[in-house]
Amino acid sequence: MRKAIEEKRVFNVADSLMIEAAKDKKGFLIEDKTQFENFDPSFSASFLEEYNNKISLAEAAPDDEAVNGMVVSYTTIVEEKMKLNRDKFQAAKYFVDKAFPGDLGKQIEFGYRDYDKARNGQDKMVLFMKGLYTTCQKYKAKLNEVNFTDENIMQIQQFAVELDEANQVQNQFNKNRPTLTQDRIKKVNAVWEVMGKICSAGKIIFASDYAKLQRYNLPEVAASAPKTDVPPPQS
């Protein structure tokens, strides 16, 4: 079985700088289209279109900052749901104590001893609140007598379900995060590789035109970037 290989950037500048340079090279390629096509007919309109598409795909891929922002967003949502569930338990506890004053057995049944273990874990809190809902349904009539209404009891289930859903979304995103990173790296590498071809050709085409030659410098040479042995003209 073939071992999976981690994608790594083939350049060592910021993605934003690389994409900006790629757009510049696209503009230069359009301007110098005739010279490029005369040198190599593969620098055609379809080549330019494909290059532009690669740039667009790389730009659209969420960068590390955007991914980190999504992590913060999902975490914030989960924390908000956790607080709702904690507050709901404290409200329920007030009415349980009122309905069953000093009844240790009922306190245990309503999860008093389990709460501290569950309050800081999302998955544990979901199970805890679902259990609390079941118990509240069991003693619904008694709880209704002390003004813990059916609506209040249904909210326990609702908050548990919302926390469960938010937790699943967060977990799914965290599992997919490496895939997002690898996908972006593939897309920016694809742009870099095409830009390298353009720059390699440009340095040959404009070997005797120092000003235009500078247009086709890569933003920074990486180990795997295409290179040329054509020097700038001597003054």
Do 113 and 137 belong together in one domain? yes
To the nearest whole number, what is the mean pLDDT of the chain? 91
Do 85 and 169 belong together in one domain? yes
Do 155 and 206 belong together in one domain? no
In a domain, 4, yes or no: no
In a domain, 231, yes or no: no
Do 183 and 194 belong together in one domain? yes
Do 157 and 211 belong together in one domain? no
Do 89 and 157 belong together in one domain? yes
In a domain, 222, yes or no: no
Instruction: Give the DSSP H/E element, type plus range, for residue 90.
Output: helix 64-99
Do 88 and 159 belong together in one domain? yes
- The parent domain of residue 101 ranges over 80-176
Count of the separate structural domains present in the chain: 2
In a domain, 149, yes or no: yes
In a domain, 31, yes or no: yes
Please write the tens of the pLDDT for every residue from 179-210: 999 999 999 999 999 999 999 999 999 999 99
Separation CA 55–CA 28 (nearest Å): 15
In a domain, 223, yes or no: no
In a domain, 168, yes or no: yes
- What string of DSSP letters covers 104-134? HHHHHHTTTTTHHHHTT-HHHHHHHHHHHHH
Range from 23-37, 61-75, 138-152 carrying the lowest mean pLDDT: 61-75
Do 19 and 93 belong together in one domain? no
**Model-wide pTM > 0.75:** no
Do 163 and 93 belong together in one domain? yes
- Looking at residue 4, what is its pLDDT? 61
User: Taking the CA of residue 181 as centre, how many other CA atoms within 13 Å lie in the half-sphere pointing to its CB?
Assistant: 14
What are the structure tokens assigned to 126, written together? Answer: 């979901």
Residue of 172, 192, 199 whose CA lies nearest to 57 = 192
In a domain, 93, yes or no: yes
- Looking at residue 127, what is its pLDDT? 97
Do 169 and 89 belong together in one domain? yes
Do 165 and 185 belong together in one domain? no
Separation CA 129–CA 161 (nearest Å): 9
Please write the tens of the pLDDT for every residue from 97-131: 999 999 999 999 999 999 999 999 999 999 999 99
Do 99 and 152 belong together in one domain? yes
